[in-house]
Amino acid sequence: GAVVSQHPSWVICKSGTSVKIECRSLDFQATTMFWYRQFPKQSLMLMATSNEGSKATYEQGVEKDKFLINHASLTLSTLTVTSAHPEDSSFYICSANPLTRTSPQETQYFGPGTRLLVL
Amino acid sequence: KQEVTQIPAALSVPEGENLVLNCSFTDSAIYNLQWFRQDPGKGLTSLLLIQSSQREQTSGRLNASLDKSSGRSTLYIAASQPGDSATYLCAVDYGQNFVFGPGTRLSVLP
């Protein structure tokens, strides 16, 4: 089946540094990728929609200058948390929407997630 | 506004019990609905996917039903085991985006 990878799987950084998270679709092309964030004991919340070759669309309340998204190719989207602070500590998950759904059963594919801890 | 809710928020049961998790969604124009399992510190594991045209799906001890007109889905877990302890998320696929429920935290006691 389709696979989405994320790197790194976990990261610890100091406050004020920037952290880049990669999301890759390994065996399919995705014009659209999604970034979600999950705080402890809360549900996943959509942060932004990443479109290949164009600017990302951010959900209300998500700072676009803090969470930089680049979708440079049909298989790679990156999320950079700039000047990270402890309140940014969270679980970040990406998902990829296949370029074309080959069957009604096909849906988005989720990455394994990246756990970020900002000290 | 597309919203997904789940009841109960948390559930603790003794091993062997059958249980039902509930999911409700406000916008019935869904592409499909998916149930996920999330273990602490882990990513999502897809359990069952129900297309908008289907009424239910079964996998092992799990059975998920879908009533699109009323905006409801249930996940039935038969003969629960301690290994079933996790957070169960309901997610509605609207074609271009998912909307997740807040999850139900399940604890199955040995």
For A88, the 3-state DSSP assignment is helix
CA–CA separation, A39 vs B67, rounded Å? 30
Q: What is the mean pLDDT of chain A?
A: 86
Residue A19 Cα distances to A16, A59, A61, A93, B71, angstroms: 10, 20, 20, 14, 39
Q: Among A25-34, B23-32, B56-65, which stretch is predicted with the lowest mean pLDDT?
A: A25-34
Edge-first strand order for the sheet with A67-73 is A4-7, A19-25, A76-81, A67-73
pLDDT at residue A44, rounded to an integer: 76
pLDDT at residue A1, rounded to an integer: 59
B71 secondary structure, DSSP code: T
pLDDT band at residue A106 under the 50/70/90 scheme = low
Q: Mutate one of A89, A107, A114 to test the B interface: name it (highest B CB count within 10 A).
A: A107
Contact flag A105-B101 (C-beta cutoff 8 Å): no
CA–CA separation, A66 vs B98, rounded Å? 23
User: Do A44 and A37 meet the contact criterion of CB atoms below 8 Å apart?
Assistant: yes
Average pLDDT of the residues in B58-82: 96
Which candidate, A93, A94, A104, A101, places its Cα nearest to that of A38? A93
DSSP H stretches of helix in chain A: none
pLDDT at residue A110, rounded to an integer: 82
CA–CA separation, B73 vs B52, rounded Å? 11
Average pLDDT of the residues in A92-99: 84
pLDDT at residue A105, rounded to an integer: 44
pLDDT band at residue A2 under the 50/70/90 scheme = low
Which amino acid type is present at position B77? I
Report the gap between the CA of A95 and the closest CA in chain B (Å).
Answer: 10
Q: Mutate one of B100, B105, B107 to test the A interface: name it (highest A CB count within 10 A).
A: B100
Contact flag B93-A107 (C-beta cutoff 8 Å): yes
Average pLDDT of the residues in B22-43: 86
Task: Name the β-bridge partners of B12.
Answer: B107
Q: Which residue has the higher pLDDT, B26 or A2?
A: B26
Report the gap between the CA of A96 and the closest CA in chain B (Å).
Answer: 10
Secondary structure percentages of chain A, helix, strand, coil, to 5: 5, 50, 45
CA–CA separation, B69 vs B62, rounded Å? 22
Those residues of chain B whose CB sits closer than 8 Å to some CB in chain A are 31-32, 34, 41-44, 46, 49, 51, 89, 91, 93, 96-103, 105
CA–CA separation, A108 vs A67, rounded Å? 22
pLDDT at residue B43, rounded to an integer: 66
B contacts of A49 (beta carbons < 8 Å)? 96-97
Q: Which residue has the tokens 């079933």?
A: B84
* Minimum Cα–Cα distance from A5: chain B residue: B43
* Residue B77 clears pLDDT 50, i.e. is over it: yes
CA–CA separation, A117 vs A114, rounded Å? 10
Average pLDDT of the residues in A51-69: 90
